[in-house]
Every structure is written in C-alpha cells, then in structure tokens.
Amino acid sequence: MKLNLNRREFLKASAASALTAPLASLADAGKAVPKGKAEACIFLWMGGGMAQIDTFDPKGRGDGKKIPGCYYNTIGTAIPGVKISEHLKQTAGILDRCVLLRSLSHEQSAEHGAATYLVHTARKPSETVVYPSIGSVVAHQLGSRTQAVPPYVVMGYPNIARDPGFLGPEHGYVYLTQLETGPNGLMRAPDVDAARQQRREGLLGTWQKEFEQRNPTDKAAIAQGEISRRGFKIAGPEFMNVFDLTHEPKTLRDSYGGEFGQRCLLARRLVQSGVRFVEVSFNLNFINGTGWDTHNEGQRDQHKLIQELDKAFATLVLDLEKHKMLEKTLVVIATEFGRPPGFDSRGGRGHQSQAFTGVLAGGGLRSGQVIGATDESGSKIAEMPLTMPDFHATMHCALGINPHKRLYTPDDRPVPITDYGRPVEKLFI
C-alpha cells in the first residue's frame, strides 16, 4: 500500500506519534499490577551466554558437529512432562519450586557488553540518560533494612551494567572478589587500632560537615559524604562477620560445592543479614577454559559449569526453604543471551538472543510452571515472547515494586522503572 503525505500531514502524524509514548507511560503508571511477597533477590549471573538448549530448554540430541541439537541427554523433573539436561540432576528434583521462562529475547546478540547492559537495565544505552541496574532500582525502592548492612552487593568485578546510573552513587553496590575477609575497602589497616580509627572518622566528619555547609547545592558531594558515613557503619562486625562461612556446618558448605557454590551460601547469609539484592557472578574463574561463552572447544567441558550450577542452585533453594526464607527471597538465574542449536567448525556454539531461558525460584510466585516455548530447534520463540522489560517487570512485581512507577533524573526528567514492561501475571494469580 502506497502512503502519500504532504509536509503538513507528515508533521501532524509525527506530533501525534511523539505524544503516544508519554501518554502510554502515564496510563501504565496508574495501572494495577500484581504484588509478590519477596523482600530480597539473589541474582545468579551466568556471564558469557548460558546455552538454554543444553540446560533448561533441551531439544533433540545433536552430534556436536553437523547435526544441531542438545549436547546431552535429558531427564524428567518435579514438574510433570518437563525435561532438562541430565547434568541438572539436583535441580530436576526441586524444579517444582521454580519457574522456567523459556521465551526471553532481545536484539543484542553480537556484543556481550551491550547484551549484559540490556539484561541488567532492560534498556539499550542512551546518549542522554544513564539507566540504573535492577540491583540499584531495588536498593532505591526497598531501601536498607538496617544501616549496618548495604542494600546491594555484587560478588564480581565492577561493571557499568551494575551501576546506579542517574539514581546516584548512594544506590550503588559493595563488591567483592573473594570470600574470606569481605570487601577490601571495608577492612581496617593492621596498624590502625580502634582508637585511631575513631579519631580519623571524627576528623573526616568535621571536614565533610564544613564542606556541605559551604556547598549546600552540591548533591554529588553530599551523596559521597553520606556513602562515607554509611561505609563506616557497614565496616562494623555485624556485616563483616557475615563473610565467615565457618559459622555454617561443614556438611552444608560441602553440599554447595566449589567456588560458585560458596558464593551462593554467602548470598544466603547476606540476605539473612538484611541485604536486599545480591548478584553472584559465576565466571570469576573459568573452570572449563571459556566459561559460559562456549565457542569452539568451550563446549567440550560445558558440563562442568552445568554440574556446579546444579549443585549450588538446588542447595541454595533448599537452604532458603529450610530457613523459611524462600517465600521472601526471589532467586534468579540470568544470562546475557543463549546459544543456537547448531555448532561451529570446532564444535562450539555461537550467540543467540532471539530465544533463551531465565529461571525464577521462590519469592512467593506460583512455581512449578513453564512460561513460553521455543520451536523444535530451540532457535525461535513459538509461544509467549518475553522482552527484557517484561522480565524486569516480573522481577519487580515479585519484590512488590511497581514496574511502571516513574523515577526522576537529576534534571527532573521522568523515567519509568521499566520501558512498558508487563509482568507474567500467571505467576501471581
């Protein structure tokens, strides 16, 4: 059909189109949304691109060469008729506490960084707005349970995808790359005793107060001062003792497995202490040479990753359940994209963002469900496509946060928490 518009008609149509988005945003902001029971979130990050076809959305067997398909056999689960990888044995037994989102998709398949940013913020990078990560939004909306612990912790390396964006540094994260001592930035130097530390804090506090009185409109400096004061409170024994895993029975520590599992155990302790959002990165140290980015030979030992994830995740879910925390804690398995059913010339898999899987557990959701489906090959969505805003809206609703609520940039520009994200309502009914 040919469309003919003169200049005046074109401008009129453009103006109407420009008004549509704000009006839709206003309509969504007033719309009732489901509200879950979760008070905290543990976000397990499979950085690199976890292959859904080899884990939570398996298809027919491939040969690792010319015949596309799953690299492993499959097994039944606690959800009747639902199968997952044979290397997820423990998870199969507790899958009734989970929800599989098999129809996630986005358009950033080429670059890990861009896809990671999109999955963490549900938005593409903008030249005018630096969007906050989901962890920062949760910290901003739910706040601290206590001044003695931070609301947001990342077990991994600093990255812009985890940043607070326009919400400001006070809603950023404390990060750590090792377990034994806690965050290095909160450790007191060996030659600084308690009295000397107190004198230092007093002197710094005086300087900060004088500066803030002279510069009452410097919001960034005032925010940094507040972060500094909060940091001294966090550096106390209530938070730092959380990192001593020897308080837990050895049998439990062993059941969590290796490095990633120990981080999951620590995540449970952090949430138990009052932290609102904990991201646990799987790939601090590769155990198969490539992590989840299984190009080429990385596919060969992918089962080592899956087995470690299986042990840690299943134990975490049962541990939370034992402590009567599962209903109040949303556990998420997320990754930047999936992998295609076919193999590359050396037996690995490329990137696929058009169809991949996320997992939710706990959080008071109606578990034991599979949401969405892919086609016979696992390369295209066949049922109920879910965008990244939808994914975020579902997580926010589980945490009692309205995904349509408007936040404001420093220049008072309104930005809704999600960009027209719609939660999966079946999980709340």
Please tell me the predicted confidence (pLDDT) of residue 144.
Answer: 86
Low-confidence winner among 157-171, 229-243, 337-351 (lowest mean pLDDT):
229-243
Mean predicted confidence (pLDDT) in 79-96: 98
Q: Who wins on pLDDT, 20 or 288?
A: 288
Mean predicted confidence (pLDDT) in 31-51: 94
What is the pairing mode between strands 74-76 and 277-281? unpaired
Q: Which of 382, 395, 401 is nearest to 105 (CA)?
A: 382
Please tell me the predicted confidence (pLDDT) of residue 152.
Answer: 96
Mean predicted confidence (pLDDT) in 115-119: 97
In a domain, 216, yes or no: no
The count of other CB atoms within 10 Å of the CB of residue 344 is 13
Please tell me the predicted confidence (pLDDT) of residue 3.
Answer: 41
What confidence tens digit (pLDDT) does each residue in 210-267 have? 666 777 776 666 666 565 555 545 555 668 888 889 999 999 999 999 999 999 999 9
CATH number for 334: 3.40.720.10
Please tell me the predicted confidence (pLDDT) of residue 30.
Answer: 57
In a domain, 8, yes or no: no
Please tell me the predicted confidence (pLDDT) of residue 197.
Answer: 52
Please tell me the predicted confidence (pLDDT) of residue 380.
Answer: 97
In a domain, 152, yes or no: yes
In whole angstroms, give the CA distance from residue 327 to residue 324: 7
Rg of the chain over all Cα atoms, to the nearest angstrom:
23
- C-alpha dihedral (164, 165, 168, 169), degrees to nearest 10: 50
What confidence tens digit (pLDDT) does each residue in 313-335 have? 999 999 999 999 999 999 999 99
Q: Which of 121, 34, 44 is nearest to 279 (CA)?
A: 44
Please tell me the predicted confidence (pLDDT) of residue 217.
Answer: 72
Please tell me the predicted confidence (pLDDT) of residue 388.
Answer: 98
Domain that holds residue 250: 31-187+235-427
Please tell me the predicted confidence (pLDDT) of residue 20.
Answer: 43
Average pLDDT, the chain: 87
- C-alpha dihedral (242, 248, 253, 258), degrees to nearest 10: 20
Degrees to nearest 5, angle at CA 110 with 106 and 112: 85
In a domain, 134, yes or no: yes
What confidence tens digit (pLDDT) does each residue in 1-19 have? 334 444 444 344 444 444 4
CA 378 to chain centre: 23
Low-confidence winner among 9-18, 93-102, 132-141, 316-325 (lowest mean pLDDT):
9-18
In whole angstroms, give the CA distance from residue 195 to residue 37: 44
Please tell me the predicted confidence (pLDDT) of residue 223.
Answer: 61
In a domain, 200, yes or no: no
What confidence tens digit (pLDDT) does each residue in 363-421 have? 999 999 999 999 999 999 999 999 999 999 999 999 999 999 999 999 999 999 999 99
Residue 303, sorted as left (phi over 0), alpha (psi -120 to 50) or beta, turns out to be alpha
In whole angstroms, give the CA distance from residue 250 to residue 75: 30
- Tell whether the torsion through CA atoms of 301, 307, 308 and 310 is positive or negative: positive
Please tell me the predicted confidence (pLDDT) of residue 213.
Answer: 73
In whole angstroms, give the CA distance from residue 170 to residue 48: 29
In a domain, 1, yes or no: no
Percent of the chain surpassing pLDDT 70: 79
- Tell whether the torsion through CA atoms of 395, 398, 401 and 404 is positive or negative: positive
Please tell me the predicted confidence (pLDDT) of residue 44.
Answer: 98
Amino acid in position 304: K
In whole angstroms, give the CA distance from residue 188 to residue 202: 16
Please tell me the predicted confidence (pLDDT) of residue 222.
Answer: 60
The yes-or-no verdict on residue 194 having pLDDT over 60 is: no
Low-confidence winner among 23-37, 78-92, 262-276 (lowest mean pLDDT):
23-37
Mean predicted confidence (pLDDT) in 149-171: 93
What is the pairing mode between strands 98-104 and 369-371? parallel
Low-confidence winner among 204-208, 218-222, 271-275, 356-360 (lowest mean pLDDT):
204-208
Please tell me the predicted confidence (pLDDT) of residue 8.
Answer: 47
How many structural domains comprise the chain? Answer: 1
Mean predicted confidence (pLDDT) in 74-98: 98
Low-confidence winner among 27-36, 182-191, 260-269 (lowest mean pLDDT):
182-191
Q: Who wins on pLDDT, 189 or 41?
A: 41
In a domain, 332, yes or no: yes
In a domain, 221, yes or no: no
